[in-house]
């Protein structure tokens, strides 16, 4: 399935009160690989941008004055999103704004044309309960470089979200082995299980999986500034 990482910037925080979208950024991923396709549009919101919003994204009324209205770019947005899984950080905020824009045009909600909407903020809160889970906080925690982010920008943030999402979803979901129904003894405690009867299957990685793993290792080596231990061991080993 196509996955689209989506972010918007707006005139304010309340779509129901008339705040509008001023920027949308979308990045496409297929098979956990970025395809290079993206959508990036600015919009004239036909109203003033709140000063607090300008401090966040830097998009002034003067800059937006000559940009197209959302109605002029709606078909392009819907075509890009059609049938994809949308991955959005704090999805209720962005989908709320998109749906208000679409309602003005007599169009159905974005959820009806997307295959699925995934909220990466909800994912992060489940994985890191009690911790800060803003996009900036996740970039720091997962070692995604966001030092070039002076302002929030829809396309830039969509790209950071894609990197964060790949790190959030890396690895197995669970290491728990199902060994039966778990019968209890007379004290209500789980009876001891004979683990010797468990046969663990050995699943060989495919060529594609090996290549994807090598790309991940290269990314990790780059992110650490070349300080990954195994690269030094490989270089020192005569059998490497």
More confident residue, 238 or 229: 229
pLDDT tens string 175-190: 333 434 444 444 444 4
Task: Using the Cα atoms of residue 120, residue 121, residue 124 and residue 126 in order, give the sign of their dihedral.
Answer: negative
In the beta sheet, which residues pair with residue 39? 26
Domain count, the chain: 2
Measured CA to CA, the distance from residue 118 to residue 85 in angstroms comes to 7
> What rounded mean pLDDT belongs to the chain?
85
Confidence of residue 142 (pLDDT cuts 50, 70, 90): very high
Residue 193 lies in a domain: no
Measured CA to CA, the distance from residue 23 to residue 40 in angstroms comes to 7
Question: Is the same domain home to 215 and 132?
Answer: no
CATH code for position 104: 3.30.420.10
Angle in degrees, CA 150, 151, 157, rounded to 5? 105
Residue 226 lies in a domain: yes
Q: Which domain holds residue 21?
A: 2-168
Catalytic residue among 152, 183, 213, 232: 152
Residue 68 lies in a domain: yes
pLDDT tens string 91-141: 999 999 999 999 999 999 999 999 999 999 999 999 999 999 999 999 999
Residue 188 lies in a domain: no
- Whether 152 sits among the annotated catalytic residues: the reply is yes
Question: Is the same domain home to 74 and 154?
Answer: yes
Residue 176 corresponds to which tokens in the numbers above? 């728990």
């Amino acid at each position: 399935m196509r996955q689209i990482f989506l972010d918007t910037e707006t005139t304010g925080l309340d779509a129901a009160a008339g705040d509008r979208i001023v920027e949308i950024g979308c990045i496409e991923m297929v098979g956990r690989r970025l395809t290079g396709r993206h959508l990036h549009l600015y919009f004239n919101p036909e109203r003033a941008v709140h000063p607090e919003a300008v401090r966040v994204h830097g998009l002034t009324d003067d800059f937006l004055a000559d940009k197209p209205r959302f109605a002029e770019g709606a078909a392009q947005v819907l075509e890009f999103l059609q049938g994809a899984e949308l991955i959005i950080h704090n999805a209720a905020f962005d989908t709320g704004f998109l749906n208000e824009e679409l309602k003005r045009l007599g169009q159905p909600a974005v959820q009806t044309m997307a295959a699925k909407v995934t909220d990466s903020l909800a994912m992060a809160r489940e994985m890191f309960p009690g911790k800060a889970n803003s996009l900036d906080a996740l970039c720091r925690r997962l070692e995604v470089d966001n030092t070039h982010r002076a302002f929030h920008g829809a396309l830039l943030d969509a790209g950071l979200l894609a990197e964060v999402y790949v790190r959030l979803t890396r690895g197995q979901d669970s290491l728990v082995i199902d060994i039966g129904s778990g019968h209890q003894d007379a004290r209500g405690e789980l009876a001891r299980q004979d683990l010797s009867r468990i046969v663990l299957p050995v699943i060989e990685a495919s060529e594609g999986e090996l290549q994807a793993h090598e790309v991940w290792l290269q990314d990790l080596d780059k992110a650490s500034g070349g300080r990954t231990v195994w690269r030094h061991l490989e270089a020192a080993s005569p059998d490497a």
